Amino acid sequence: MVTKRSVSLADEVASAVEEAAKQDGVSFSAWLSKAAEKQLQVRQGLRGVAAWEGETGSLSAEELAAGEALLARLRSGVSGVASRVRRR
């Protein structure tokens, strides 16, 4: 199911989205939908971390550094990273 909405964007944002959608080979709407989905996943993840920290205490400096390193590897496209993630 799809819900139609009318949104207003700053001209610069609309132009950048149009270009990004063209480069990705998708429609303007599809690109915005995917971007919104990613932002919602980030928000969900942040809530999850906050809940986890509420139960176990704040992440240590070492844990934060390991998370930052993992994120950098994921962003760089290094394959096989997920299989090396250590779970508590």
Q: Are 70 and 85 in contact (CB under 8 A)?
A: yes
Query: E-strand spans in 1-88?
Result: none
**Is residue 87 predicted with pLDDT exceeding 50?**
no
Encode pLDDT of 4-44 as tens digits.
Answer: 999 999 999 999 999 999 999 999 999 999 999 999 999 99
Tokens (6 digits) for 63: 């844990």
- Residues 39/50, Cβ–Cβ less than 8 Å: no
The answer, yes or no, to whether residue 2 has pLDDT greater than 80, is: yes
